[in-house]
Every structure is written in structure tokens, then in C-alpha cells.
Amino acid sequence: MPPLDDVLLVTLPVLLAAFVLLDRHLVRACSLFVLFALAVALTWWKLGFLWLAMLETLLGAALTGGFLFHALGVGLAGRAPTARLAHARDPVPLIWRRGLVHLLPVLALLGMLAAALGSLPASDGSLAARWSGLVLIGLGLWAFALHTHLLRRLLAFNITGTGIFLLLMSLVGKTAPAAGQGLVITGLVVALLGTALGALLVRRLGALVPSREPASASDGQAS
Amino acid sequence: MSQAWLPLITLATSLLVAPLILLLPERAWRARAALNLSAALLKLLLVGLMVVGLYQGREFAFGFTVVPGVEFLLRVDALGMMFAGLSSLLWLATTVYAIGYLEDSPNRKRFFAFFSLCVASTIGISLAGNLFTFLLFYELLTLSTYPLVVHRGHPAGLAAGTVYLRYTLSGGLVLLLGVVGLHALVGDVTFGEREMLRDLDPSYHPLLIGLFLVMLLGLGVKAALVPLHGWLPRAMVAPAPVSALLHAVAVVKAGAFGIVRLVYDVYGIQLTFELGLLTVLTVLSVFTILYGSIRALAQQELKPRLAYSTISQVSYIVLGISLFGPFGTIAGLAHLMHQGLMKVTLFYCAGNYAEELGIHRIDELDGAGRRMPLTSLAFTVGALGMIGLPPVAGFISKWYLGLGAVQAGMPWVIGVLVASSLLNAAYFLPILHRLWFRAGPAHGKGQWPEERCLGRFETSGWLLWPSLATALFSLLAGLLAGLPFSPLDLATLVATEEYLP
Amino acid sequence: MIERLGLVTTQLPTTGSSVMALLVVVLPLLLGVLGAACRPKRGWPAVLASLLALLPLLTLTPLVVSQGTQAWVLELDGLTLHWRANGLTLLLLLLTQLLVLASAAYAPAYLRVAVQAQGRGPAWLWPLMGLLAASLSLIWLAADLLTLYIGLELMGLSAVGLMLLPGREDALAAGMRYLLLALIGSLAFLLGLALLLGAWGRLDLAGLAEAVEAGPVLWVAMALLSAGLLLKAAAFPLHAWLAPVHGSAWTPVSALHAALVIKASFFIALQLWLVFAPQAAVAAWVVGGMGAAAVVWGGLLAWRADKLKDVVAWSTVSQLGYLLIGFPLLIGTAPAVASIAWDGVWLQLLAHSLAKAAMFLAVGNLMLATGESRVSGLAGASRRFPLALLSFGIAAISLVGLPPSAGFTAKWLLLHAALAAGQWPWLLVLAVGTLLSAAYVFRVFRYSFVEDVELEDYRPVPLRMDLIALILALASLLLGLAATWPLALLEIAGGGP
């Protein structure tokens, strides 16, 4: 029976991620994402990767969050135009049947991953991180395939990425920490840059097409 | 060292003229004409040098490796020299003709640039020393003739260009597959190294037959063997010098020449005979000869009639090489030259009629002999040669074809020859009759469709002199067939090489 | 095969020239910094800066030619990065620098004529281009997965950034889609890396090649890595993002993207397959099948495309199919076959890069001159813009694979390899691809030869822009007969000279 704080640290990001991905109110979702990033930073700290915890706080929570809010037009002082906030809600409702259909490929991928991981033994401490990583990957991919709102896709991408980082560090934590950290740091920077680019784009697109819903790309067949 | 570079320089004369022409401004037609003509003359001189060198037994070869196992090789041999001589001679004539024909028309710069490229490709084809190099220039020919076919840019021309490309590019692709297949089997085959295939184990023979047929399919498109001939009559919409060149030397001959190379220099006549492939060629060519002639009979316009006549006449070459024996070979190769000279004359004349009098249909030709006597004379010489009357060159071809048929033990071919000659007469003699013996506008009856007085003579001198020159050459090739350097003499040289090892 | 990639564990790393290797990567960045600082209005400063980036190559080349593969190990706080340079690396580096040089020389004139300083876009062009060149150099040099990952991500992001520069709505929408797909591709790649690192605890390719053993971990990892890379390379079922992205991008950017960015993903994928699964013939056939589908489908779409740039972009999808056919010819085949296919694949890559860059530049010139982006808008172009059309034509010869172009020589080698391996289907695919490419290329020509159109207003483009396209096109043409030179460079693979 693992200690309670371990369980909490592993389940907290997963829960937060689920809330982030299911919330149609985008400002709330972004705020939850910042919380999620902080929770992940805590997990890193608990796993003993101090550097990663700091970077996650800085890059994941602060900067990524900042860019996400920028995309929504929410400034530091919160003096955002209300019209924009009205848009800050995904107009596409969640249809459960669609959600279930999109779950199938994700489950297939997770099954593949699990089959591969089955042959890699895990130490006790990393098992929990591995599972939460897998769940985050699944959740993120599912949401990425499901949502058409660009910002929600960015959120989903970030959560998938975090899941992969967790999985990666749970796999290599002891054997090759330097290489693993190198990959994760690169990944964090890439995720930040990608999110930043995406956020700026969402903003620009919104400014260019004021009449249409700023960030809908339903014509795009991206999945 | 000059010997290795001679083929390269010959190729370069027309290859380098193309960019030079592109650099000249569109208006500078004098400079362009001077450039074209001097390059054509230079090339004729160089080819002459190589022919003389060849008779003296010198070797000219230039080569380098492209990728390991594949060589780019230019080499001079008697067969290639026949083709090179023909193309450089006709290039000169056609250049003169084209300068006159295209006077004051747009896009002349583009025309002459691609025209030079086209001739460079035919020279490359004739100098190619192996299948790879041959293929290279064979495809380059397709590319360089397309802009010439669509030159006028009207819908009919564009449609003809599309059809032309469909046929020739598919043909080139099929040829490529065959050549690569042969390369994968035995490596680089230098022309003349017949032992490479002959010494293969008989178990490879079915494969060899397959590859031969594939390559024949590729080459047959350009040689316009029935049923691969569909592009040729449509390409008639091209300007007259282009049609003349396409039919006499460039495209059609490239295909026929390729078949000759394939039979004599890659497989060797002996192996081709043993594999039973000569019979395939005979049947194909006989069918094409008769089919082309019959279709020619049905044409009401001058150029399409000449086009179908080409389809028929080019197959004489294939027929000649398919007759096993030196006489057949001589006939096929000599006809390669003879047909070029005669057909180019006919096309020049057709162009003259169209330019001077606006005549396109045969029934408009009544009495044109009076209005344009010299052109009509040239036309008559060409037509009689096509029928095979002595002393024009065509007679020599048919005579040797007959001898070859007897030698190969296929006397029924003579029947085909007779039938085809009758058909030739049936579609050419009415034209001659109209030209000389029917009263027409020149006799004060009716009027020409669109008369323009282009020059001091019956038409512009640029148009007239080339027609007369080639007509004269077709006469001389027949009259002086026994002299050295005549087409017949060169053909005999090749045949001796082939049959007397 | 692994020796051909220059991945050898036994060789002692040479340290003397590691500065050179770093310079190869860093100097392109200098181009970016200088460009951003000066915003060159003329071509020559940009050309000078890109020429500077060629200098370290000039010292590196004789070193590799005389001593064989060079390898470097960079220690970074517990991390070891492995770099290497062999003949192939040099070839790709040279290609990259030359194309960047061409784009850099083209860009100032293009920006002046076509963009007219709208927005902040032009300022970002130079740093992003420098970053792109640097990340590409990093990819060619990398001999470990971490460096590859860094290079791939930098390349992807700078490519997305470059595509977004026009700032118009269609560019942004297409760019957003590209960004999301690129990010997904990176995630798949990272997940694959995670599995490899977790299972065998190292990231250097040469070491991994010895360590890996077949099993579910390897297969899943390879599937993930390949999926990510093929997505970025616009391989067949994952290609839909390509044409919209190119449709609105700036011409020099399109040229760089189609010529290099896509190739980099292909290069990494092929390298990983050769290292980790050199005998996986069945899986390679699957990739080859995707390539075949790409050849046909891309060709059909290019044929049907309405816009000029779409024709060129779809043709990239089709041509990449040829490269993917290299997989079944290289993997699990006899050494003799693989050796021919090896030459064929890289020659095809070179040929296509040069020809496609030339074609994009030529098409850009034509669009600029006619003010039309549709194929039918080219009517009469052959008289008015002969130079641009000539460049297009010469590049097209190489794309179709007609002699004497490099595309032809490459196709010859691929056909030969397919015949030697007895893999008949690829013959058919190459044949169909040739016909299709001829169809879409000559469709463009057909319109350009139309004569009876009125002289509308058109503006000639600066001669320099035409000349750059022409030079690239000629390079792809002449490389066909001069193929021995790059192929000889390819031979420098293993330890000794």
C-alpha cells in the first residue's frame, strides 16, 4: 500500500487534467491548467527531480499559462473586454457518442504502450508516475482528437506532453537520468514555444476574423 | 586527342547554339540566322571529317562514367554516321527553310532554340555508343520537339502536342524499363558487343525475347509502327519545317534507328533471327506498310496524306532489317537515308504550296505546276522516288528489298512490295496529274485559296532552294549509288561488318 | 548499412575539428542575427553571410575525404552528445547551405517586390531562416537521439514560424494546422524515444544499434517514431497539411521547406530504420506501400490542382513516395541491391531538393509576374516570361525523371535496384509516377503555350530572381550526368578513406 501523499500526488494531476479538458469555459480551463502544472511540479519534486520541478513551475505553469491567457485576451489586471470573454467558451458541446468513438484509437494506442511497457520492469516509486503518465497521455490524446477549439487542442497537447514526460522519467529515472532530463527539458521548451506560437496564432486569427468564432477550425481535418 | 573530342564538339555545335539563341533578342533575326547557318555548316563539316576518318579506320570515342556501371559514351561507327550525316545535311536545309517560313512570325527565338536542341538530340542519338546514351538523347528528343509541335499555340496544336506527349513519353518510359532490365541482366551493353547477349545461357532466351519486345514497343511509338502511330497524323498541325524534320529525320527516324541498333548492335542479327524475333518485325512492318498506304489513299488533304505515307515508308526500314541477309540490311539502312531525303522534299513542297498559294487540300492543287514549276518539279521527284521509280533513290531501296526478300527465303514479301508500290502510285500519281495536267487558277480558271507573292521567284528563295536541293540529293543518291560515300555505300559497309565478322 | 551512415563505435573520436562541427551549426545562426539586425535590402549581404556558413564545410570536407568519417563526443554536464560527419553528412550539409544561400539571395528582392514591408513578418524571416539552417545542420550531424530530437524540434518550430510570416488569414489557418500536427508528431517521436531510453538506457545510435533486441518495446517505439516522422514528412496518409501550408507561404520559404525540411524527417526515419530494424523487410514493405500510394495520390492531386503552388506542393507528396520506396529496397535486401538503392535514394533526394527549390522559385516568379495564382492564368507566359518558364521546365525535367537530369539517374538506379531485388511492384509505381508527373507538369506548359490571349498588365520580376531559379534548376539537371561526384562522396562512409 503506497503512502497517501504518493497516491494524492499521482491522482491530483490526473483529476486536474480531466477538469481542464472537460471544462468548456476556457478561462476556467486555463486557470485549472496552471494548477495542473503546479501539481506536476510537485510530483517532480516528490520524485526527486528538483530541476524539473523548477522548470515546470517556470515554463509550464507561469509562461505557458501566461500565453494561454494571452490567447484569450485576459490581461494581468483582468481588465479584459467582455465581448472577448463571451467568446471564451467553446461553442461546440460535448457529444458523448463522438467522445466514445474517439476513445477507441486512443485505447488502442494505450494498449500498445502497455504491451511494450509490460516487458520493462518498474521500481515501486516510479510505478505510480508511470500509470499517471499513461492516463494523462490517453486523456490528452482523446481530448486532442475530440475538440475542434484550437485553444483546447493546445491544452490537450500540453497535457499529453506532460504525460509523456512523467512516463519517460518513470522509465529512466535511475538508469540514465541525465539523458532523460535532457529530453524532458527539450520537450518542455518545445511545448512552451509551441504553445506560445499557437496562442499568438489564436489571438491573430481572432483579430483577423472578428465575425467568425475566432478559434474554430472545424474545416481542418487535423486528427 | 582531337579524335576523342570530335564527337563531343559535333554534339556541342547544336547543343550550345540553343542557349546562345535564347540570349539573342527576339528582333535580331539576322544574327540568329547567321548563328544557325554557321553552326549547321560547321556540323556538316565535322560530320564529314568523321566520315572520312571512319573510312580511314580511325576510332572516335568519348565517354565518362555516370554512375558506377553506367557509362555515357559517344562513339562513331558507320551506322551512326549515316544517321548523323542525314540529320546534319537536313538540318542545314531545314534551317534555311525555317528562316524563310517563319519570317515575321512570333516566338522565333523559342522555335530556333528548340530546333537546335532537337537536332542536337538526333546527333546524340546517332553518336550514342550504348543503350543508356541512346535513351538519354531519345528522351531529350521528345522534350525538344514538344515546343515545336505546339509552336503556334492554337487549340489544335495544343491538343496535338498533348497526344504527342502521351504517346512518346509512354514509349520512352517503356523503353527505359526495357533498357534497365537489360542493364540489370548483363550490365552496360556497348553497341557492337553482340557477344554479350549471344553468349548468355539459352535459359535466358525467354527473358531476352520479353525484353526485346518491351524495347520494340518503346521504339515502335516513335517509329510510328501500327498500332502505335496515332500521334503522327495529328502532329501535322505543326509548322511545315517541323513536320518535315519530324518525318524525315528526327522523331520517326529516331525510332527506326533505335530498332536498327537494337537488332544489329545489341542483340545481333544472328541472335534476333534465332529467337524468331525477325518474323515479328516482318509481320509488323508489312502490316504497317499496307495499313499506312491504304489510310493515305483516304486522305483529302496534302499533309495528312504525306503523314500516312511516312508511316508506311518508315516501315520499309524495319522490313529491310527484318529480312535475314546482307541485302535486306543494305535495303533497310539505305532507305533510312533515302526516305529522309525524299520525304523532306515532299514536306517542303507542301509547305511551299501552303505558304504561297494557301493550298492545303489536294483538290486545290489543279494546275499548280504552271504557277510553281520548280516546287512542283521537286515534288514530282520526291513522289516518284516514293513510288520507287528509277533513277530516284527510292528505287534502290525497293530493289534491294526485293533482293533481300529472295535471299531471306520470303518471296511473298515481294508481293507486298508490289502491292505497296501500286498503292503509293495510287495516292501520288493523282496529285502529279493535278499538278501538271489539270487546268486551274494558273490557267485562268477559279482562283487560289490565298495567294501571296513571297519573292522574286515562284515563292521566297528561302523556301525554294532547300526544296530543290533535297530533291536533287534524292536524285543523286539514286544515280550515284555506286560511288563511295553514297548512302548505299555506307549501308554496304555496315552490312559487311554485320555479316562478315 | 550502419557503416554507411557513419555510425561506428570502435573508432576513436577525433577532437581536433570539433570547433568546425560547432561552427557548421552556429554560423547559420549568425546569418539570422545579422539579417535581423540589418534587414538587408539587397542580396549581397545575405549572400556573404551565407557564404560564411560554407567556410567550415570547406575545411571539414578535405578532412573527411582524407581521413574518413569524423566523430565527436560533446560532454555536457553528465550528458554525452554524439556527432559525426561522413560523406553523406557532407553532401546534405552542402545541399542545405547551398539552398539556404539561394533562398537568402532570393529573399531580399522578393521581399521588396512582393511583400512591400507589410507587418513585422520580414523582420522575422532572417532569424528563423538561420535557425532552420542551424537545426538542419544539427540533424545531419547528429549521431544520438537527443541531438536529433533537439534538431527536429527546432526545425519544426522554425518551419512553422516561417510559414506563418505572410500573416494573412489563410496562412495563419494553415499554419495553425501545421503547428498542431507538428506538435503531435513531436509527441509521438518523444514517446518513442522514451521507450528506447527506458529499455536500453542510452541514446547514442551506434551504441543502441548493438544494444537493441527485437521485441514489443522496439516495435512500438519504432512505430511511434516512424509515425511522428512520417507525419512531419507529409508521407501518404498524413500529407493533407502540406498543400495549404505552401499555398500561402512566401516563395523562398516554400522552397526551403519542400527541399529540406521534409527531407530531414525522411532522413531521420530512414536512419532509425537502418539502425534499429535493418532486417524488418515486411514493415519496410508497408512503408514502401505508403510510398506507392503517395506517388499515385500526390500525382493525381497535382494533376487536378487548380493553383500553381498546389501543383508543386502535391508533387512534393508524390516525389517523397519515391524516397519511401527506398525503404523496402534498402531494408532486408541483399547487399548488392542495397548498395544500388542507397545511391539511388540519396541521388533522388538531391535531385528533388534542387529541382523542387528551383520549381518553387520559378513558380513564385511566374505568379509574381502574372499576378495570377492559377494554372490557367499562365496563358501566354511562354512569350513574356521565357526565363521563369525555362527554369520551371528544367526543374520539371528532373521531377519527371527525364534524361539527362539527376532525377532520371536516380530513377534509373531505383529501377535497377527494384529489378535486382525482384520487387516488381515498385517498377510499376515508378512508371506510373513518371507518367503522372509528366501529366501535371505538361499541363502547366500547355497553358503557357496558349497564344491568343490579350496582353494584360504584368510586371517583370528582377532578373536576379529568375537567375537564381535557373541556376538551381540547371544544377539539378547537370547533376544527372555528373552523378559520380556525389556518389563518390557517398562512398566515404566507414572508418578509413
Higher pLDDT residue, A6 or C281? Answer: C281
Q: How far is the CA of C111 from the CAs of C165, C245, C374, C377, in angstroms?
A: 11, 19, 21, 23
In a domain, B450, yes or no: yes
Rounded to the nearest angstrom, the gap between the alpha carbon of residue C437 and the centroid of all alpha carbons in its chain is: 19
Task: Note whether residue C490 is domain-resident.
Answer: yes
Among C179, C180, C195, the residue with its CB nearest the CB of A116 is C195
Min distance B13 CA to chain C CA atoms (Å): 18
Instruction: Tell me: cis bond preceding B391? Omega within 30 of 0 counts.
Output: yes
Query: Can you read off the three cell numbers belonging to residue B482?
Result: 555506286
Alpha helices in C331-385 (DSSP H): 335-370, 381-384
C157 phi and psi angles, rounded to 5 deg: -65, -40
**Does a structural domain hold residue B378?**
yes
Q: What is the pLDDT of residue C344?
A: 93
* Residues of C whose CB is below 8 A from B161: 446, 449
| C226–chain B nearest CA distance, Å | 31
Interface with chain A: mutation pick from C138, C197, C208, C218, highest number of A CBs within 10 Å: C197
Q: Which of C442, C443, C481 to mutate to test the interface with B (most CBs of B within 10 A)?
A: C442
Nearest CA in chain A to C183: A194
Higher pLDDT, C169 or C431: C431
Q: Is B66 near chain C, with CB under 8 Å? A: yes
Beta carbons of C187 and A221 less than 8 Å apart: no
- Report the residue of chain A nearest C222, measured CA to CA: A116
* Tens-digit pLDDT profile for residues C408-418: 999 999 999 99
Sort out which chain A residues have CB atoms less than 8 A from C178's CB and list them.
none
> Is residue C449 within 8 Å of B147, Cβ to Cβ?
yes
- A171: chain C residues, CB-CB within 8 Å: 194-195, 197-199
Per-residue pLDDT averaged across B340-364, rounded? Answer: 89
Domain count, chain C: 1
Strands B61-67 and B70-75: what pairing?
antiparallel
Does a structural domain hold residue C244? no
In a domain, B123, yes or no: no
Give C171's contacts (C-beta < 8 A, 6+ positions apart).
C163, C164, C165, C248, C249
Exposed e or buried b per residue across B16-37, where buried means at least 16 C-beta atoms within 10 angstroms of its C-beta: ebbeebbebeeeebeebbebbe
What is d(CA C198, CA C188) in angstroms, rounded to the nearest whole number?
15
User: Which chains have at least 3 CB atom pairs separated by less than 8 Å from chain C?
Assistant: A, B
pLDDT at A220: 38
Which residues 145-204 in chain B show a CB within 8 A of chain C?
146-147, 150, 152-154, 158, 161-162, 165, 169-170, 172-173, 176-177, 180-181, 183-184
Q: What is the mean pLDDT of residues B318-329?
A: 90
Let me know if residue C240 belongs to a domain: no
CA–CA distances in Å: residue A46 to residues A130, A172, A179, B33, B124: 14, 16, 20, 87, 77
Q: What residues of chain B lie within 8 A of the CB of C434, using their CB?
A: 169, 173
**pLDDT score recorded for residue A82:** 45
Taking only the tens place, the pLDDT of each residue in C284-317 is 999 999 999 999 999 999 999 989 899 999 999 9
Which one, of A7, A5, A4, A12, lies nearest residue A127 by Cα?
A: A7
CB count within 10 Å of CB A166 equals: 29
For the residues C391-395, what does the mean pLDDT come to? 92
pLDDT of residue C15: 54
Element (H, E) at C275: helix C262-276
Residue B77, class by beta-carbon neighbours within 10 Å (0-12 exposed, 13-18 middle, 19+ buried)?
buried
CB B82 within 8 A of CB B494: yes
CB atoms C190 and A153 under 8 Å = no
ipTM confidence score:
0.90
Q: What is the DSSP string of B132-195?
A: HHHHHHHHHHHHHHHHHHTTT--HHHHHHHHHHHHHHHHHHHHHHHHHHHHHHHH---BTT-TH
Q: Which residue has the cell 500498445?
A: A112
Are B122 and B142 in contact, with CB atoms under 8 Å apart?
A: no
CB-based contact C176 A168, cutoff 8 Å: no
- The verdict on a CB contact (< 8 Å) between B176 and C415 is yes
Query: A touches which chains (3+ CB pairs under 8 A)?
Result: C
Q: Any contact of A with C, at least 3 CB pairs below 8 A?
A: yes
Mutation for testing the C interface, residue in A193, A212, A219 having most C CBs under 10 Å: A193
Nearest CB partner across the interface for C484, out of B67, B135, B147: B67
Q: What pLDDT shows up at residue C38?
A: 76
Query: Do at least 3 CB pairs under 8 Å connect B with C?
Result: yes
Q: For the beta carbon of residue B450, count every other beta carbon within 10 angstroms.
A: 12
Helix residue ranges, H only, chain A: 4-22, 26-47, 50-55, 65-72, 82-87, 96-118, 124-146, 150-172, 177-208
Q: Cβ of C24: how many Cβ atoms within 10 Å?
A: 30
Which chain A residues are closer than 8 Å to C195 by Cβ?
A: 113, 116-117, 120, 171
Residue C209 pLDDT: 87
**C-alpha span between B244 and B242 (Å, rounded):** 5
Q: Are C416 and B172 an interchain contact pair (Cβ–Cβ within 8 Å)? A: no
In angstroms, the Cα distances linking A96 to A15, A25, A157, A221, B306 are 19, 18, 21, 20, 74
When pLDDT is averaged across residues B237-256 and rounded to a whole number, the result is 83
Percent of chain B clearing pLDDT 70 (strictly above) = 99
Task: State whether residue B65 sits within 8 Å of chain C by CB.
Answer: yes
Contacts of C160 in chain A (CB under 8 A): 197
Calpha distance C302→C317 (Å, rounded): 9
What pLDDT, on the 0 to 100 scale, is given for residue A216? Answer: 44
Q: How far apart are CA C40 and CA C58, in angstroms?
A: 26
A180 contact C CB<8A: yes
Check B66 against C481: CB less than 8 A apart: yes
Contacts of A202 in chain C (CB under 8 A): 176
Please report whether residue C356 resides in a domain: yes
How does pLDDT run across B457-484, given as a tens digit for each residue?
788 888 888 999 999 999 988 888 888 7
Q: Tell me whether residue B208 is in a domain.
A: no
Q: How far apart are CA B151 and CA C449, in angstroms?
A: 8
A198 touches chain C (CB under 8 A): yes
CA proximity to C262, closest of C246, C276, C247: C246
* H/E element, C135: helix C121-141
Contact C403 B136 (CB under 8 A): yes
Instruction: Tell me the pLDDT of chain A (223 aa) as tens digits.
Output: 456 777 777 788 888 999 888 888 888 888 899 999 999 998 888 888 888 899 988 988 889 988 888 888 776 555 544 444 445 677 777 778 888 888 888 899 999 888 888 877 766 667 778 888 899 999 999 998 888 888 888 999 999 999 999 888 888 867 777 888 889 999 999 999 999 999 888 888 877 765 444 444 444 333 3
Give how many domains chain B has, as a whole number.
Answer: 1
Q: Does A217 touch chain C (CB under 8 A)?
A: yes
A137/C191 touch (CB, cutoff 8 Å), yes or no: yes
Would you report the helix, strand and coil content of chain C in percent, each value rounded to 5? Answer: 75, 5, 20
Decide if C358 is inside a domain.
yes
Best residue of C451, C463, C481 to probe chain B, by most B CBs closer than 10 Å: C451
What is the pLDDT, as a whole number, of residue A98?
83
- Which residues of chain A make contact with C217, given a CB cutoff of 8 A? 116-117, 119-120
d(CA A199, CA A193): 10
Domain span at residue C325 reads 279-497
Contacts of C351 in chain B (CB under 8 A): none
* Contact in structure between B448 and B359 (CB atoms under 8 Å): yes
Q: Does C74 touch chain A if contact means CB atoms closer than 8 Å?
A: no
Mapped onto helix, strand or coil, the DSSP state of residue C307 is: strand
Residues B49-91: tens digit of each pLDDT? 988 888 888 888 888 888 888 889 998 888 888 889 888 888 8
Q: Is A108 on the interface with C (CB under 8 A)?
A: no
- Per-residue pLDDT, A92: 73
CB pairs under 8 A between A and C: 133
Q: Where are the alpha helices (DSSP H) in C371-482?
A: 381-384, 386-400, 406-421, 424-448, 463-478
Do the chains contact at B154 and C419, CB–CB below 8 Å? no
SS3 string of B253-307? HHHHHHHHHHHHHHHCHHHHHHCCHHHHHHHHHHHHHHHHHHHHHHCCEHHHHHH
Distance between CA atoms of residues C118 and B212, nearest Å:
62
Q: Do A198 and C179 touch (CB under 8 A)?
A: yes
Q: Do A176 and C197 touch (CB under 8 A)?
A: yes
When pLDDT is cut at 50, 70 and 90, the band that residue C16 belongs to is low
d(CA C493, CA C233): 25
Inter-chain CB proximity B139 and C403 less than 8 Å: yes
Chains that touch B (3 or more CB pairs under 8 A): C
Query: Residue A179 is nearest to which of C146, C169, C190, comparing CB atoms?
Result: C146
> How many CB pairs below 8 Å do chains B and C form together?
92
Assigned domain for C140 exists: no
- Using CA coordinates, name the residue in chain C closest to B72: C481
| Gap between the Cα atoms of B387 and B372, Å rounded | 22
Whether the CB of A76 is below 8 Å from some CB of chain C: the reply is no
Q: Which domain holds residue B354?
A: 327-501
More confident residue, C364 or A23: C364
Contact C310, C247 (CB under 8 A): yes
Nearest of C472, C350, C476 to residue C403 by alpha carbon: C476
CB contact, 8 Å: A1 with chain C?
A: no
Given a cut of 70, whether residue B331 has pLDDT beyond it is: yes
CB-CB: which of B67, B135, B162 is closest to C446?
B162
Of C402, C409, C420, the CB nearest to B139: C402
pLDDT value at B351 more than 50: yes
**Partner residues linked to B64 by β-bridges:** B72
